[in-house]
Homo-oligomer: A and B are copies of this chain.
Amino acid sequence: MFAYEIQAAGKRARAGVFQTPHGVLETPVFAPVGTQATVKTLTPVQLEELGASLVLSNTYHLYLRPGDELVAGMGGLHRFMQWPYPLLTDSGGYQVFSLARTRTVDDDGVTFKSHIDGSSHRLTPERSIQIQENLGADIIMAFDECADPGDREYIQQAMQRTHRWAERCLLAKRRPDQALFGIVQGGVDPDLRAASAEFIASLPFLGIAIGGLSVGETKEEMHAALDVVTPLLPENKPRYLMGVGTPEDLINGIARGIDIFDCVLPTRLARHHAAFSPEGRLNLMNASFARDQNPIDAGCSCYTCRTFTRAYLRHLIVARELLAGALLSIHNLHALVQLVKDIRQMIFSGTFEENVPQLLERWENNAARKQP
């Protein structure tokens, strides 16, 4: 049910297909984030039209609201949000560790308070799998501990806990129509990353995720971690770099053998009036766009660029019209989905590696994170 086949490969980059119960995923792939069972401001039809094939949703948020049992009662997440294509849920681990200020970790699991009403909740590996089985995504994640960068001793402890929890998630899993991915942790320490990659790779997961990156480390540290990890992973399983990233992260990640990405950046930028463009990231509220008859990107084939001028988009932003957020989300998501699709074609034609410098140059002014 979850066969992964590599169809073309470069030096380390891979182009493949991953079978899921809701269709074939062509990899590499960029997944829009639909935190609360909706990619913010967009309908499923708009998502499909902009080229999305995989959507991520967040277990932490859906567990709290509307509740995983309610979603199960409504026929599962695909039917609830009317996304008939592949879905991925995270385990809740990242949110619990990053969102909840008041949480306590023990070897069995995590107790935390809801950001909605302060009520107390507990997640364990078994509970996370149970919730994800209620939600019913095609790809589900092991419950992990995403440690803050910096403290090596704690990162090692968290990594070891993540490993024990990974085994418990495999034992807890019941549904055959979901692919469970293990998560490699270990911060930016090469030895810990290698140990984690080897351990997670040794377990019978159907895919491997790399967590704990894009959480404050430098680009060089992220690349070094990937350079340690991906060579230790089995070739025949898809690899997912969680919560990443910027256009340059996608280019660099694919060049290091990553197959799946997700990030809130495109929709978050849209809410802040920013758009990816060949000229760099544009803030469309800027007065210089008031009479600009060009689309955001004349080379872009998204609905927004095929239809509207920068002047109109700026008007919507200045007039505080919500349509602006939807139109910019369409463009920004399409830009990253299409970038990854273009790279996929380059992998087939054997031209990706030679194009990396010019791809990075094309996107360098659209970077999300400044180098420290």
Chain A residues close to B by CB (< 8 Å):
36-38, 40-45, 61, 65-66, 70, 73-74, 80-82, 290-291, 293, 303, 307-309, 311-312, 314-316, 318-319, 321-323, 325-327
**Complex formed: what's the CA distance from A314 to B74 in Å?**
13
Given A70-B291, A73-B291, A322-B322, decide whether A311 and B80 contact each other with a Cβ distance below 8 A: yes
Residues of B within 8 A of A316 (CB): 36, 38
Residues of B within 8 A of A66 (CB): 290, 311, 314-315, 318-319
Contact of A74 among B38, B291, B322, B323 (CB under 8 A): B291
- B318 contacts A65, C-beta separation under 8 Å: yes
- B81 contacts A38, C-beta separation under 8 Å: no
Kindly report how many copies of this chain are found in the complex they form together.
2
Given A307-B82, A318-B66, decide whether A37 and B291 contact each other with a Cβ distance below 8 A: no
- B327 contacts A325, C-beta separation under 8 Å: no
Select from chain B the residue with minimum beta-carbon distance to A44.
B307
- A319 contacts B74, C-beta separation under 8 Å: no
Q: What is the minimal beta-carbon distance from A372 to any residue of chain B, in angstroms?
A: 34
Given A38-B316, A315-B65, decide whether A327 and B70 contact each other with a Cβ distance below 8 A: no
Residues of B within 8 A of A38 (CB): 316, 319, 321, 323
Select from chain B the residue with minimum beta-carbon distance to A37.
B315
Q: What is the minimal beta-carbon distance from A186 to any residue of chain B, in angstroms?
A: 34
Residues of B within 8 A of A81 (CB): 312
**Complex formed: what's the CA distance from A316 to B314 in Å?**
27
Residues of B within 8 A of A61 (CB): 319
**Complex formed: what's the CA distance from A43 to B349 in Å?**
37
